[in-house]
Structure 1
């Protein structure tokens, strides 16, 4: 391992990948991260503590789109909101 990539832990990694399956992160998100080869696409680049962060060093604790401005429970018309996934139980 070259030290550039770390695995936070298996549950976080699995949750991260599930959120990709739910549609996170769409290009319409304000902090959408992309690169030419596509490896970092569908991530955010604003906070290393965010579950969908694109960088190689994650912060602890991991947060779920704390500002609700990119991929979870946001208010962006026409943009995928993972809070609407039928696989997540609604909070009430």
Structure 2
């Protein structure tokens, strides 16, 4: 299973900014663990971001999003879409099969 984690800001930039360093550390930690395989800002910038996660069940994905400093501070929230991958490009096979 893969999970598409969509982050949406609930507050303005001034409220979000103090939590950026903690959010970046959160991203780096989960990328290093192999749980996050892609992340970035949504376009247009300023609305939020998205993360592609693997190797965890939906309950664990929910728990992971709850630890984001943005969520803990109440300046953002996540929605989660779980994907049962049926087909993938061969270049992604290793990532998807381990998901």
Larger radius of gyration: 2
Same fold, TM-score > 0.5, yes or no? no
**Greater relative contact order (CA < 8 Å, ≥ 6 in sequence):** 2
TM-score (norm 1): 0.32
Report the structure, 1 or 2, having the larger helix content: 2
TM-score (norm 2): 0.30
